[in-house]
Amino acid sequence: MGKPHKYSLTDIPSTCTLAFGILSDEQDYRLCWLLNKSFGLSLIRQPDLPVATAQAPQAQAFSCFESKGSADKPLCRLVSNRSREGLWLTEHRQLDYIMLIHPTDEPCAFTENLKKTLTMRIPEIRGLFGLDGKAFANLL
C-alpha cells in the first residue's frame, strides 16, 4: 500500500455550507457512532433521504443521520452516497458518505477542528475530500 496523501481543507471558508466526501469501509451507523464519540456530536438516524438525479430520475433512498445544532456545534448531516439502487454522486464514485455542515455567520471553532483532525481522530476514515457546498445547501 502506498503512502497516504493528505490534502489541506483550510481554504474552504467557514461561513458557507461545508460539504465533505468521506471514504470509509464502515457501516453508516458505526461511522456515526465514531463521529459522535470523537467530536461530541449527536448524529441520530433520520428517514431515508429521497434523491432523484438526471441519471436516475426515479427517487433513490439514501440513509441519513442528523445532529441538531447548538451554541458550540453547527447542524450536521451525514448522508450515504450509496443506495440499493445505485450511487448519488456518480462523478465521485469512490465516496462512501457526504457530510454536510450548516453555514454559520462566523468561523466556528468546531468546524475548523473537524476539518483539521477528522482523519487523525478516526482512522476508519480513509479519506476526506472537500465538495462544493452550494450544491448541497438545500439539504440542510
9 and 21 Cβ atoms separated by less than 8 Å: no
User: Residue with C-alpha cell 456518480?
Assistant: 90
**So what's the pLDDT on residue 9?**
41
Question: HEC profile for 121-133?
Answer: HCCCEEEEEEECH
pTM reported for the whole predicted model: 0.77
pLDDT, position 13: 42
Q: Which residues of the chain have pLDDT under 50?
A: 1, 5-15
Dihedral (CA of 111, 87, 28, 140) sign: positive
Q: What is the pLDDT of residues 12-26, one digit of tens each?
A: 444 457 888 999 999
Sheet containing strand 44-51, strands side by side: 44-51, 60-67, 76-80, 97-101, 18-24, 125-131
- The pLDDT value recorded for residue 55 is 73
- The amino acid occupying position 51 is V
Burial label for 61, CB within 10 Å (0-12, 13-18, 19+), is middle
